[in-house]
Structure 1
Amino acid sequence: MHRLRRGFTLVEVLVALAVLAIALAAILRAMGQAIDATSTLRERNIALWVAQNRLVEHQMRRDWPAADTKDGDAEIGGVKWYWREQVSTTPEPRIRRIEITVRRIADSQNTQARLVGYLRNTTDTKAAGT
C-alpha cells in the first residue's frame, strides 16, 4: 500500500519564498519613495514659509523698497535658508512687484519655493498723481 504524502515539495516552498521576497521588496521600495516625497514636501513647505515671512515683513512695515535685488538668509527649524528678493516696478506707480525665491544652498540654482507678491505705497501721494 502506498501512503498519501501531504505537504509541499522543496521546489514549491522555494517558489513561494521567491514570490514573497519580490512582494516585500516592492513594498519596501514604495515606502522609501513615500518617505522621500514626504521629506521633499516638508522642505518645500518650510521654504514657502520663509518666502511668506519676507513678504509679510514688508507688508507689516509698510515698506516701499527700491527696484533692486536683495539676498539674505533666515533660520527655520534649525536649518538655514537663503532667500532672494527681486523688486520691480509695475505700470501702476504706487505698486511694486516682489518675487521671493528660497533655496537651501546659497549658490544653488535649485529653488525650493517661489512667491510673487505686490506691495502698495500708502504713504506717497505724489506717486499716485494727486
Structure 2
Amino acid sequence: MRPGVAAPGVAPAAAQQGFSLVEVLVALAIVAVALAACMRATGQMTDTHARLRDRSLALVSAENALAELRLLRAYPPLGRASEPCPQGALELVCERIVEGTANRAFRQITVRVRMPADGPVLAELRSLASAWQ
C-alpha cells in the first residue's frame, strides 16, 4: 500500500486522534480519588490544629494557676480544688491537687486542665511548694 492511503475498512490516521470515552472516565476516576485523598488530609489537618490550639491554651491556664500560687506565697493546704479557668473563647476547668511529700516542708501541686463536665485532660503540670517561701 502507498503511504497515506488507508486500507479498505480502516479509518485514516487523522480520524483516530483523541481519547476514547473509557480513557476519559478512567482519568476522571483517578482525579476523583486524588481529590478525595486531599480533602481527607485537609480535614485531618484542621482537626489536629484545633486540638493543638486547645492543648496550648490549656497549658497556658495550668501555668497561670501555678504562677498564681507562687505569687500568693502561701503554703497551700492539702486537698483538691476545682475552678473555671477560661482562655479566650475556650471554657476550661482547672483542678488543683495538693499532696504531701516525704519531706513535710514541701508539697506537690498538680494542676490538671480539662474541658467542662469531666472532659479529657488537656494539660497537666506539677510543681513543688515550700513552707520557706
* TM-score where L is the length of structure 1: 0.88
Residue of structure 1 aligned with 2:55, choices 44, 62, 83 = 44
- 1:80 equivalent in structure 2: 91
2:111 counterpart residue number: 100
Q: Which amino acid aligns with 2:57?
A: I
- In the alignment, which of 88, 107, 121 is matched to residue 111 of structure 1? 121
Indicate the SS of the match to 2:85.
strand
Determine if contact 1:95/1:118 at 8 Å carries over to the other structure: yes
Instruction: Give 3-state SS (helix, strand or coil) of 1:76's partner.
Output: coil
Taking only the aligned residue pairs, the percentage that are identical comes to: 34
Counterpart contact for 2:61–2:113, Cα < 8 Å: yes
Give, as a single letter, the amino acid of the residue that structure 2 aligns with 1:116: R
Distance 1:79 1:39 in 2: 11
Q: How does 1:1-130 map to 2 (within 5 A)?
A: 1=6, 2-4=11-13, 5-105=16-116, 107-123=117-133
| TM-score, normalised by the number of residues in structure 2 | 0.86
Q: Does the 8 A contact of 1:99 with 1:117 survive in 2? A: yes
1:38 and 1:120 map into 2 onto residues whose CA distance is 38
Unaligned runs of 5+ in 2: 1-5
CA distance in 1, matches of 2:35, 2:28: 10
Between the aligned partners of 2:103 and 2:61, the Cα distance in structure 1 is: 27
Partner SS, residue 43 of structure 2: helix
Q: 1:63, 1:53 → 2: CA distance?
A: 16
SS at match of 2:95: strand
Runs (4 or more) in structure 1 with deviation over 4 Å come to: none
Q: Which runs of 5+ in 1 are unaligned?
A: 124-130
Letter in 2 for 1:36: D
